[in-house]
Amino acid sequence: MNIRNTITIDGTPVPFQDGDTIMDAATRAGIYIPHLCHNPEFKPHGSCKLCTVNVNGRNCSACTFPAADGQQVLNSTEELNATRRTITQMLFVEGNHFCPSCEKSGNCQLQGVAYFLNMLDPHFPLFYPERETDSSHPDILLDRDRCILCELCVRASREIDGKNVFGLSGRGIHTHLVVNADSGLLKDTDLTPADKAAQVCPVGAIIVKRHGFETPIGARQFDQQNVSEWSLSWEPAAMGDEHG
């Protein structure tokens, strides 16, 4: 495997392997690039745009853009982080993300990214959406008001579980998560709590029932380490990892 080629991220030389994206090379080198839709188990998607970096003067998604010898990459700049804060604020206001009452609080990657980016307020007016909640499944709750359209559950169900339970429908602000059943209800799918699709949600949109607050607030994932430390704890080539 060729590791002689090098890119530069914020002035630091970073080697990369054949086939690496900028995200792969950065993660392997211990450099955090904020992201939500990226997961090393799935094909890169580039939908959330939090991982946008500047490559030789051009803005690109780090999770999809291939590393190439000699690239000059800017990641941790005030301009890029300001844009990331704005994206994060927009995600908070377009859904119902009320952290104090959410079972995912402390384990929520959106919340963790907001802390990392020093997001102090939502800035924009809250949308207070009223999307359909699906509680029909005996073991799994789907709360679309918390969905950030990262498609991790879609990809997990298709690529890992082989079930194709979830999909996205609509365009623009009308895009929403759908369930691939004639009834449109989770109860009429073969989704189980053990499926990757039921576990991979970075927010509180997909929750396994009867397991709420088993780990108390203060002892959860991002109570113990910030999102950058958590994200960098897995290796891009370790495809069996549970991180998102």
Residue 203 · residue 36 · CB < 8 Å: no
Phi-psi region of 73 (alpha: psi -120 to 50; beta: other; left: phi over 0): beta
Q: Report the C-alpha gap between 46 and 52 in whole angstroms.
A: 9
CATH 3.30.70.20 domain span(s) along the chain: 81-223
* pLDDT for residue 239: 32
* Model pLDDT, residue 212: 87
Q: What is the 3-state secondary structure (H, E, C) of 155-200?
A: HHHHHHHCCCCEEEECCHHHCEEEECCCCCCHHHCCCCCCCHHHCC
Q: What does pTM read for this prediction? A: 0.90
CATH (residue range 81-223)? 3.30.70.20
**CATH fold group of domain 6-76:** Ubiquitin-like (UB roll) (3.10.20)
Residues of the chain with CATH 3.10.20.740: 6-76
Residue-level pLDDT at 237 = 47
Can you give the pLDDT of all 244 residues of the chain as single tens digits? 455 699 999 999 999 999 999 999 999 999 999 999 999 888 888 989 999 999 999 999 999 999 999 999 999 999 999 999 999 999 999 999 999 989 999 999 999 999 999 999 999 999 998 899 999 999 999 999 999 999 999 999 999 999 999 999 998 888 999 999 999 999 999 999 999 999 999 999 999 999 988 999 899 999 999 999 999 987 554 333 333 3
d(CA 217, CA 241): 24
Q: Quote the pLDDT of residue 235.
A: 59
